[in-house]
Amino acid sequence: MLYALMGLGLSLITGVLNIPNFAHGALFAVGAYLLVSAANAIGNFWIALVVAPVGVALLGLAIEYAGVRRLYAAGHDYQLLFTFGLALILSESIILIWGPVGYSYLPPQILRGGLDLGFTFYPKYRLFVMVMAGLLVLATWLFLEKTRYGAIMRAGIENKEMVSLLGIDIQMLFTVAFALGAYLAGIAGALTVPIRGVNPGMGVDMLGIAFVVVALGGLGNLLGAIAAGLIIGVAQALVAAYWTEASTVVIYAVMAAVLLVRPQGLFGIR
């Protein structure tokens, strides 16, 4: 489910802005670390959960304003280098501010322990994450499908020229899309914290997976990204149960296999 969240955010950014966002994983990490600090400062996990992703969204706004918007006309190579450089800056800054060693973090009191599902004990927090992430995906989906602005954004993925000809401020669209994508990455990061703690390398791993999700789901295909995220998440969980080490490799191998058969991904349109 988290993968769906990350995939959705990245698909939005790459679809609307048409840039390769290699900083997406770093935004995820920033969200996680902000949660830790916010929770420690405020003393309340829940408030921190609300605040941290907003912080990431603001960061996204700043990034878009200061850098990304100057690069829309530049080639993908420069956009890549820029977001990649950004990722480096962010991850190194994380180490500077929070230290090179990771922390673990306990979930809030009511979500500790497991839930007896009959056939297995499932950690309560993970259930919470699944539900929460699912709600967020649904909310984003509703926004994009049902609201007028969401429709404009989807139209922007299809045909930017047309949208700007309709008199809509395309720059604002880009900014909002980037901030929204950043928000989704941030909250995914924040939600992850009690499951696996934080460590400076968490962004990099997530980045790869996010790209796999988007590639499988079809570029700019938001529903596809959600579906692909779910599929990958389930596949990884299944593999991890039998052959833990190979779980990450399997994700990439599956992607390669799918793309061999269907170059447009599972849901992409050729």
Partner 1 sequence: MKKPIVLLLAAVVLLPLVVRPAIAAEIWIFAIFGLGLNLLLGYTGLLSFGQSTFFGSAAYVAGWLLKHYGINAFLALGIGVGVGAASAALVGYLCVQRSGLYFIMLTFALNQLFYFIAYQWTSVTGGEDGMPGVPRPALLGIDFQDPLTYYAFISILFLASLWLMKRIVESPFGKILQAIRENEVRAEAVGYNVPRFKLLAFVIGGAFSGLAGVLYAMLFGIVPLEAIGFAFSGNVLFATLIGGSGSLYGPVIGSFVFIWLSESVSTLWARWPLLLGVAFVIVVLFLRGGVVEGWSRFWSWRSSKQKT
Contact positions vs partner 1 (CB under 8 A): 14, 18-20, 22, 67, 70-71, 74-82, 84-93, 95-96, 204, 208, 211-212, 214-215, 219, 245-246, 248-249, 252-253, 255-256, 259-260, 263
If the CB atoms of residues 78 and 121 are measured against partner 1, the closer one turns out to be 78
Which residue's CB is nearer to partner 1, number 20 or number 31? 20
Smallest gap from Cβ 256 to partner 1, in A, equals 6
- Residue closer to partner 1, measured from CB, 117 or 261: 261
Select 61 or 130, whichever has its Cβ closest to partner 1: 61
User: Is the Cβ of residue 194 or residue 265 nearer to partner 1 in the bound state?
Assistant: 265
> Shortest distance, CB of residue 30 to partner 1, whole angstroms?
14
CB of 241 to partner 1, least distance (A): 17
Compute the least distance from the CB of residue 245 to partner 1, in Å: 5
Nearest to 174 by CA among 255, 90, 73: 73
State in angstroms the smallest separation of the CB of 100 from partner 1. 9
Considering the complex, state which of residue 42 and residue 74 has its C-beta at the smaller distance from partner 1.
74
Minimum distance of partner 1 from residue 186's CB (angstroms): 19
